[in-house]
Structure 1
Amino acid sequence: MRAVFIGASSLAVMTARFLLNRGHEVIIIERDKDCIEALSEELDCGFLHGDGSKPAILREAAPDETDMLFCLTANDQSNIIASLVGRSLGFGRVVTKIEDPEYEHICIELGLEDTIIPAGTIGRYLADMFDGRDLLELSSMIKGEARVFSFVARDKEAGPVHDLGLPKETGVVCFYRDGKFSLAGEDTVLEPGDEVLLITHSRNLPVLMQRLGQASEGWGTEATPADP
């Protein structure tokens, strides 16, 4: 498989190294020539010098031959623009890194489904470690177009699960009430304050965001409630 990285950040280099060790082809697009020269000594991959948000540079990376485009620069706006340009040029899948969680709902509205916030993911991981919880990230188990979405039920969401009016390919998996875990069934009745976990198709995220709340810090698939 073939991966293209925009920006030679530490995250990009580490991910590229893992992919190379697994036998995949890697191309790194970087503005800094000195950085390219230094990395070429340690990484057996291709390099393109230039601005990865420019269509001309991305075309050189052969979108139709690439399985995934990683936009991992240190600038959120640059990553969002590069992701949109890359998607328009035909890259099969685009990963967008952001640091500011305020951009997350914008990325979802723009259809950038694979948006990551590394600090949020690591922070949650460390908090779970501190609490002694299972360290297996749920996100690593969700594949393809499946996404996880969570919200806290308000008064208008209280009632039978089947009255939520969820979009197709969406189901309630479980909920937490007063910190206690419960599996959800057809007869489940939600109460205000319940934390509810859904599994859905990625195309449903904008609708769920609008109906049930705003995205919280995380890996692009989790939401917290809007103010009543």
Structure 2
Amino acid sequence: MRIVFIGASRLTMHTARQLLSLEHDVVIIERDKDMVENVLESLGCGVIHGDGSKPQILQEAGPDVADYLFCVTNNDQTNIIASLVGRSIGFRQVVTRIDDPEFEHICIELGLENTIIPSRTISRYLAAIVQGQKPISMSALLKNDAALFSFVVSAQDAVPVKGLKLPDGCRLMFLYRRDKFILVDEETQLKEDDEAVIVCHSNRLGQLRSRWLHTDLGKDALRLNGVEPGD
């Protein structure tokens, strides 16, 4: 596989080293020249010197042949913009790192489905160990055609769960309300700004995305970065 990283962060370096040991093709985009030299010396993988949030730089990484784009700089805003640009120019799988959980709502509304918050993941893992539990990732539980979809509840969706009229093969299973986990049934009343999570058949994802993802918001963010959507 070909994996492209934006930002030569510590997370990038550790992950890239593991991927290279598994004989994957790794490319790292980094704007700091000294860091570029460090990557070349320590990893010897492909390196592109430049701003990874710019489309012309990302094009050099080959979005048509890359399997993943990991936007993992130490700046949340850069990662979000780079993810939108990467998706716009054709990267098939985009993963976005954010450190500030307040940006999670924005990522959901922009359709950045593969968002990671390292501090939250680690804290939950440690808490589970203290409680004598064996942490299991959600990805390990989803098999075959099962998929997850999340969205932020708007004012017009602030109805009982049964009032959402979801497509066949979809079920709203739980939600987060100000970080409180709530299991739902058909009578549960949704409230604006809830983060709702649907379990569905993967062939329903297109319908769910077209209904809830705020594509105009994503286009506006791209324009602020000097990118015309669709270019």
Q: 1:147 is matched by which residue type in structure 2? A: L
Instruction: Select between 49-58 and 129-138 the one with higher mean Cα deviation.
Output: 129-138
Counterpart for residue 70 of structure 1: 70
Tell whether 2:147 aligns with 1:146.
yes
Task: Please report how far the alpha carbon of residue 48 of structure 1 lies from its aligned counterpart in structure 2 after TM superposition.
Answer: 0.3
Task: Please report how far the alpha carbon of residue 70 of structure 1 lies from its aligned counterpart in structure 2 after TM superposition.
Answer: 0.4
Give the whole-Å Cα distance in 1 for the aligned partners of 2:20 and 2:65. Answer: 17
Counterpart for residue 110 of structure 2: 110
Q: 1:97 is matched by which residue type in structure 2? A: R
Q: Is the 8 A contact 1:3 1:26 kept in 2?
A: yes
Give the secondary-structure state (helix, strand or coil) at the position aligned to 2:4.
Answer: strand
Counterpart for residue 136 of structure 1: 136
Q: Is the 8 A contact 2:86 2:94 kept in 1?
A: yes
Q: 1:118 is matched by which residue type in structure 2? A: P
Change beyond 3 A, Cα 1:163–1:133 = farther
Counterpart for residue 31 of structure 1: 31
Name the TM-score, length of structure 2 as normaliser: 0.69
**Fraction of identical pairs, as percent:** 50
Deviations 1:101-141 (A, max 9, x none): 11112112111111111111111111111111222222344
Q: Is the 8 A contact 2:110 2:213 kept in 1?
A: no
Change beyond 3 A, Cα 1:59–1:137 = same
Q: Is the 8 A contact 2:27 2:46 kept in 1?
A: yes
Deviations 1:157-215 (A, max 9, x none): 48xxx67633443236699xxxxxx9x9xxx77678xxx974235553796899xxxxx
Task: Please report how far the alpha carbon of residue 142 of structure 1 lies from its aligned counterpart in structure 2 after TM superposition.
Answer: 3.2
Q: Is the 8 A contact 1:2 1:68 kept in 2?
A: yes
Name the TM-score, length of structure 1 as normaliser: 0.70
Aligned residues: 192
Counterpart for residue 220 of structure 1: none
Give the whole-Å Cα distance in 1 for the aligned partners of 2:138 and 2:99. Answer: 21
Counterpart for residue 19 of structure 1: 19
Listed as ranges, the gaps of 5+ residues in structure 2 are 153-158, 176-182, 190-195, 215-231
Give the whole-Å Cα distance in 1 for the aligned partners of 2:165 and 2:42. Answer: 53
Give the secondary-structure state (helix, strand or coil) at the position aligned to 2:125.
Answer: helix
Superposed, 1:34-183 pairs within 5 Å as 34-142=34-142, 146-147=147-148, 157=160, 165-171=165-171
Give the secondary-structure state (helix, strand or coil) at the position aligned to 1:108.
Answer: helix
Give the secondary-structure state (helix, strand or coil) at the position aligned to 1:12.
Answer: helix
Give the whole-Å Cα distance in 2 for the aligned partners of 1:157 and 1:111. Answer: 24
Q: 2:148 is matched by which residue type in structure 1? A: R
Q: 2:88 is matched by which residue type in structure 1? A: S
Q: Give the CA RMSD over aligned residues.
A: 3.4
Tell whether 2:199 aligns with 1:199.
yes
Counterpart for residue 217 of structure 1: none
Q: Is the 8 A contact 1:108 1:206 kept in 2?
A: no
Counterpart for residue 9 of structure 1: 9
Q: Is the 8 A contact 2:151 2:212 kept in 1?
A: no
Give the whole-Å Cα distance in 2 for the aligned partners of 1:199 and 1:72. Answer: 27
Instruction: Select between 130-139 and 24-33 the one with higher mean Cα deviation.
Output: 130-139
Task: Please report how far the alpha carbon of residue 7 of structure 1 lies from its aligned counterpart in structure 2 after TM superposition.
Answer: 0.1
Change beyond 3 A, Cα 1:209–1:128 = farther
Give the whole-Å Cα distance in 2 for the aligned partners of 1:131 and 1:206. Answer: 40
